[in-house]
A and B are shown apart, each in its own frame.
Chain A
Amino acid sequence: MLPFILKRVFQSFLVLVITGAIAFSMFTFVGDPIDNMLGQERTMEDVERLRAQLGLDKPVPVQYFRFLNEAIQGNFGVSYRQGREVSEIILERAPATLELAALSAIFAVVMGIALGVFTAIRRDGFAANFIMSASLIGVSLPTFLIGILLIYLFSVELGWLPSFGRGEVVQIGGWTTGFLTESGLKALILPAITLGLYQMTLIMRLVRSEMLEVLRQDYIRFARARGLSDRVINFRHALKNTMVPVITVIGLQLGAIIAFAIITETVFQWPGLGLLFINAIQFVDIPVMAAYLMMISVMFVVINLLVDILYAFIDPRLRVSAK
């Protein structure tokens, strides 16, 4: 088991070094930030001074090494736009996105698995068929449209839920949370559904087809022949086997939830990282973009590492071959 984990950790490290190189190369290739930071009325001295201050006058490998070294310590330099530490800006914005992502991930996984199992067991039932058809809408509508429709229905027409922002937040240490106030919770519902809907339908459809496949297997038949009840067969024997391939996809999708929160955050004016990133792109605020890229890749890598370990934990056959 341990060599397997070490191998995966090493691979993850390689991935991070490569994304680091991509993030860094943005500094060199995506225009000259000095042009953006100093307006039309600049002197050569100003340009030189800022260049030296930002370390842009050094050779490329030196800059890369410095970048990596700083990045490991969580230091991504100064935002070109706001003139503040990037890490500070990100830490300030991260709670909003992480809370939103966590809630929609829970929504997607719990509802996706529950509905997937339901539609697999009641394969020909009316409810199952209805859910399957309705889920097609979930996959085919673009996220922003779903967000707008939800806002129209629940905020504009019914007036039940707020249409933008986080509501009231509570400060706990360096973390701001919307989970503790009523308006904060209310504000979370629509964006979480919007963000998680696509992932939910995807997980549901995958669970359903995997489960149908598993239910056809001989060991399920044999479990029936042993007299086990349907509940034990469906939720113990079949579900565990269903989860083996599903977990991989869930891992990738969780990463995607965080990475692609951008659209949802824009629709709901959610003060999170996605919105920060959009603004950074508009302004060519490279340190923010680089930091965002690094953060997302770290999350992807960590989640997939956990998934791989979980995978081996669930499937004993993998444990043996991984030795």
Chain B
Amino acid sequence: MTEPVLSIRNLTVEIPTRRGLFKPVQNVSYDIHPGEIRGVVGESGAGKSMTGNAVIGLLDEPARIASGEIWLKGRRIDNLSAEEKRAIRGREIGMIFQDPLTSLNPLFTIGEQLVETIQLHLKVSASEAKERALALLERVSIPDPKTRFDQYPHQFSGGMRQRVVIALALCSEPSVIVADEPTTALDVSIQAQVLDLIKELASETQVGVILVTHDMGVIADTTEQVTVMYSGEVVENGPTDKVLSAPEHEYTKSLISAVPRPQVKLHRFPQVSYGGRETTFKIEDLARNWHKPELSKSGKLVEVKGITKKFLEKSALLPSRRTYFTAVDDVSFDIKDGEVFGLVGESGSGKSTVARMIGTLLPVDGGQIHFDGDDVTAMSAVEMANYRKQIQMIFQDPFSSLNPRMKVESIVAEPLLHHKLLPPDQVSGRVHELLDRVGLTRAAATKYPHEFSGGQRQRISIARALATQPRFLICDEPTSALDVSIQAQILNILKDLQEHLGLTMLFISHDLPVVRQMCDRVGVMKQGQLIEVQDTETLFANPEQAYTAQLLDLMPRLAQLSS
């Protein structure tokens, strides 16, 4: 075997805190060979990214390398001065970040950013640098590089921007690329393209890639070697197919079993049980203080009839010269009492817009939405207040959907007080009960949102949504921002709630395996249109539309996984 291009030996990173030294990375060792893609997997906080940051010398103060060595092509680099480390960054080690929307400077054209980086690392003239930049754009398959060269980042789509970021990382033919969750922010079809590009580049230019991710599907699809990390330590290390098919460590086993399977439908999501962190809560308590499931008159709680939404694309003085972008085009579907209806599709297909229109956050431009027989689009203010009480939403980002200046108690109590559902002296008791219900302790009530992890915050969102005892819950990508182990907990809570309280749900996700476990029926959206509605099992077994089949095909497969 060839010499490793990068070796990490017994790396420990420490952060001094008031309560002593905290070690987010302990004794981590792994090698990367030329042309090899090494996956580093683990839940958030496992120290995956921190290791990557240590490699490129970008640890945030006060974190520092406490012990261990990093070797790059036979040269030790962990003890270099800041200036020497800077010289290596970008030239020898490239970096790709998670969010392509924020990694490029919005005020410079991508050409300027490429030329700047090329000229910094390779001493070439401006025109040579431009030539090289164009070649790089061509290399990462950006169509029409000459025009694109002078455009700004906001004129590129997410996937295209990630290609530009990759081009930037490749500017001076680095020997290693650290890719930190490079496709987490992209949807399935774009993710597949970007991963293919990385694979291609690795085999072609012999660059070694460290691929940090929490997505087992990506690991299975892309990597040759995998390192599993748990709470700062490497628990397992080896060839990907071997680790995935015959995991040795308990944590790896439970992590793999927690990945939602697209092939089978299970009653509950398996949780990561390692470390005794599986949270339980009393299911029998769920229905206490909850009204009897109310049945709608027609058996169909929500009827969406031909709704349309148009956004202004180009404004003009004369109405006839304005152009519109049709985000949702004549979409109709029904949701029965107690049913979980899934909506899937790529980003930009209009899923969230549909949810927002049903949640009355956006007005409809055409069509009707009936809730228990009443037309939502023609409600009086009083009827609207009553409707809003019966529907609640849970959003994707648990970090921005909770007011950071409010205590959890006030957050959960707000809907109760707003709709005057309880006398003020009973509110606090109800809030505690709601927090119990989602598996949080009473102590949580007096804390602020930033004191909680992503998964706990999403529980707070659920508690808030349940406060009004809604009949209908709209979940817009509720677990997309969470990693596998936390995702399983949240989905199980939603599932239990749905079963025990008879809730009706609209569940939006781009994660097809999750949709298969959660939903009774699924609608597929493409470019604003609903192209197919099926029972979940039928859809996954025999998709009618070619597009649906294509979507199913793009799911990262865990074929090697024994389950």
Contact = CB atoms under 8 A, between A and B. Distances in A.
B155 interface: yes
Contact of B168 (A224, A226, A315): A226
Size category, A interface? 20 to 34
B86 A229 contact: yes
Interface string A303-323: 000000000001111001001
Given A218-B97, A320-B155, A228 B120 contact: yes
B152 A316 contact: yes
Given A227-B87, A314-B107, A222 B95 contact: yes
B77 interface: no
A237 interface: yes
Nearest to B121: A227
A207 to B, nearest CB: 16
A225 B95 contact: yes
Interface string B89-118: 111001101010011111111000000110
Interface in B135-157: 152, 154-155
Interface string A200-237: 00000000000000000111011111111100100001
A320 B154 contact: yes
A240 B107 contact: yes
Contacts of A218: 97, 99, 102-103
Contacts of A63: none
A227 B154 contact: no
Contacts, number: 78
B525 interface: no
A318 B95 CA distance: 29
A241 B107 contact: yes
A217 B102 contact: yes
A232 B112 CA distance: 13
Interface string B536-548: 0000000000000
Contacts of B108: 237, 240
Residue with the greatest number of chain A CB neighbours at <10 A, chosen from B56, B103, B121: B103
A237 B87 CA distance: 18
B88 interface: yes
Residue with the greatest number of chain A CB neighbours at <10 A, chosen from B58, B106, B121: B106
Interface in B5-40: none
A216 to B, nearest CB: 10
A323 B89 contact: no
B89 A241 contact: no
A317 B94 CA distance: 28
Contacts of A227: 86-91, 117, 120-121
A44 B107 CA distance: 69
Given A218-B99, A221-B58, A226 B117 contact: yes
A232 B97 CA distance: 20
A317 B102 contact: no
5 contacts: A218-B102, A225-B97, A229-B86, A241-B107, A316-B152
Interface of B: 56, 58, 86-91, 94-95, 97, 99, 102-109, 116-117, 120-121, 152, 154-155, 165, 168-169, 171, 314
Interface of A: 217-219, 221-229, 232, 237, 240-241, 244, 314-317, 320, 323
Given A227-B88, A229-B120, 6 more contacts: A217-B102, A218-B99, A225-B95, A240-B105, A241-B107, A316-B109
10 nearest A-B residue pairs (beta carbon): A227-B90, A225-B95, A218-B102, A227-B89, A316-B152, A226-B90, A222-B103, A219-B105, A226-B117, A240-B107
